Amino acid sequence: MPVFRETTLSNGLRIAAEIDSRGYSAAFGYFVRAGSRNETDQQSGLSHFLEHMMFKGTARRSAADVNRELDELGGQGNAYTTEEQTVYYATVLPKFQDRLIDLLTDMLTPSLSTDEFETERKVILEEIAKYEDQPPFGAFERSMEIQFGPRGLGRRVLGTAESIQEMTASRMRDYFLSMYRPENLVLAASGNIDFDAMVEQVETLTSDWSQRQTTGENLLHCDTADSLPPGISLEPHLSVPEINQSYLVRISSGPSEASEDRYAARVLASILGDEGGSRMFWDLIDTGRAEVATIWPHEFTDCGAWFTYLVCDPADAPSNRDQIDRILSDVVKDGVTQEELNQTLNKASAGIIMQSERPSNRLFGLGSRWLTQGKYLSTDERLEKIKRVTIDDVGNAARNYFQNASHLEVIASGH
C-alpha cells in the first residue's frame, strides 16, 4: 500500500508525497498558487507567461540547458496554468530523482532575462492565435468571463493579445517575486520516491526562497470595474466564419472543492453526460443528433460551475437544447434510478483504480489538494467517498443545482 508523508520546510515550503516503492517511476511537481484569477488587468496572462519563462534559464543553467537536462533524465514532463494554479511536473525513473529535483527546483528561480522574455512573447501570441482557430473558438473562456466577470476567475489564462503585447519583463519579475514565495508553493511527489533524501535536498536548494520580495518599482493601476479589460468582450455570440457546427456552452453555479455534495454532483454528471451510456448520450449522441452533448461540474477553491457543452449542426441546436432542458428537468423531478447509480459507481470505481496505477496520474490530485486544502485523500478513501453516494444524494444535487437555476449561454457558430 502506498504511504503518505508530508512536511513543511523551515522556509514555509510544503512537501507532500504518496510513496509506493513498488513503482517503476517517480513523479514530481511544484504546485504554485498563481493563476489568472490572481492577476490584475496589467498582469493579465502573466501566470501563464511565467510558466513558459521557467524553462528559459536560471543562474546555473541556460534555457537550452534546462530543456536538455529534462530530456537527459528521460523526463515526461511539462507545465500548465489554470485560473488558480501553475504546475511544473515530470515523471522519471527513480534513479534520476535527485537530478530531477535539482533541475525543477532550480527552474523555479528563473533568470527572466529580457531577451528571452521578448522571444517568448512571440510564442505566447502564437499560442493565443492557435486557440482562436480551434473549436470551440473561445466559447469556454467567454462563458467564464460572463459568469464570473472578466476579472478574477473569469480572467483568461493566456491573457489577450493586447495584454501580452503590453507586458513588460520588469512587471513579470515583480509578479514572480510576489507569487513564488515558499508559503505559496507545494512540492508533491508520487511513486517510487526517497522522501527523506528529497526533503533534505530541497531544504538546501530553497534556503533563500523566503527572501523573495517585490521591488515595488512597478506601480500598477487598480482595475476599474466599470470598463472591460483590453481585448475582452462579453458578447455571448461568437461569430466564426467558415465553421460547420454550432458550439454551445452553458454555465451555471456548481459545487466548490470543499462542497459536501461534490461527489454526488460528479455521479450526477456521469449519469447525465458521460460519453457512452448516459442520458444525453442515448438521446443525442447515439441518435446522431449531436457530436458532443455532455455536462460536468468544475470545482474551484471557493466556488464552482456546471458546464454543459453541445456541438451539433446549427439547425439542430434549438431542438437539442430543448432535449437537454428536458433531461435536466426530468432528473430534478424524478431523480435517478438505483440501476443507473450502480452502473456509474462501478464504472467510476474501476476508473479510479485504473488511474491510480500510474504515479504520474496520482500526482495532480495530490499536489493540487495539498496546495489548496492541505488535505490528502488516498485511492481507497476516494473509492469510499464515491461508493457512499446514494440515489437521494444525487437527487438532492440535481435539485440543488438545476431547479430554477439561472444559467448563461455562449454560442460559437458560423452565422
Partner 1 sequence: MTVLVQPMPWLRTAAFSLALRAGVDVEPESESGLSGLTCEMVQRGAGPHSSRDLVSIQDNLGMDRSSGVSTSTSNFGASMPAESLETALALYAEIVLNPHLPENQLEDARMMCLQEIRANQDEPTHRVMQRLRQMHYGSVLGRSTNGTEEGIREIKQEDVRRFFETNYHAGGSIVAVAGNVEADSVFRWVEKSFGRWHTKPLPEMSMASGTSGYEHIKSGSSQTHIGFAFKTIPYGHPDYFRMRAGIGILSDGMSSRLFDRVREQQGLCYTVTASCHSLKQHAGVFGYAGTTPERAQQTLDVTLNEISGMTEGLSESELERWKIRIQSLLIMEQESSASRASSLASDFYQVGRPITTEELESAIESLTTDQICSYWHNHPPSDYRIVTLGPDPLNTPVDSILKSVQ
Binding residues vs partner 1 (CB under 8 A): 22-25, 55, 63-64, 67-68, 70-76, 91-93, 119-123, 125-127, 129-130, 132-135, 241-245, 276-277, 282, 285-292, 311-313, 339, 342-344, 346-347, 349-351, 353-354, 357-359
In degrees and rounded to multiples of 5, residue 252 shows phi and psi of -150, 175
* CA neighbours closer than 13 Å in the CB half-sphere of residue 389: 33
Structural contact between residues 292 and 282, judged by C-beta atoms closer than 8 angstroms: no
Which of 358/399 has CB closer to partner 1? 358
Closest approach, Cβ 298 to partner 1, in A, equals 22
User: Cβ 239 to partner 1, closest distance in Å?
Assistant: 12
Our CB check for partner 1 shows the closer of 32 and 312 to be: 312
Alpha-carbon distance 271 to 283, whole Å? 13
Provide the b/e sequence for 186-218 (b: ≥16 CB within 10 Å): bbbbbbbbbbeebbebbeebbeebeebeeeeee
Name residue, grid cell 524553462: 55
Q: Which is nearer to partner 1, 171 or 289 (CB)?
A: 289
Which residue's CB is nearer to partner 1, number 122 or number 326? 122
Pairwise CA distance, residues 136 & 368, whole Å: 27
Q: CB of 233: closest distance to partner 1 in angstroms?
A: 16
Minimum CB separation of residue 300 from partner 1 in Å reads 26
Minimum gap (Å) between residue 284 Cβ and partner 1: 10
Nearer to partner 1, 8 or 78 (CB): 78
CB 184 → partner 1: shortest distance, Å? 26
- The three three-digit cell numbers of residue 123, written as one number: 510564442
When the beta carbons of 133 and 217 are compared against partner 1, the nearer one is 133
Tally the C-alpha atoms within 13 A of residue 348's C-alpha that lie toward its C-beta.
Answer: 25
Query: Among positive and negative, which fits the CA dihedral 33, 34, 36, 39?
Result: positive
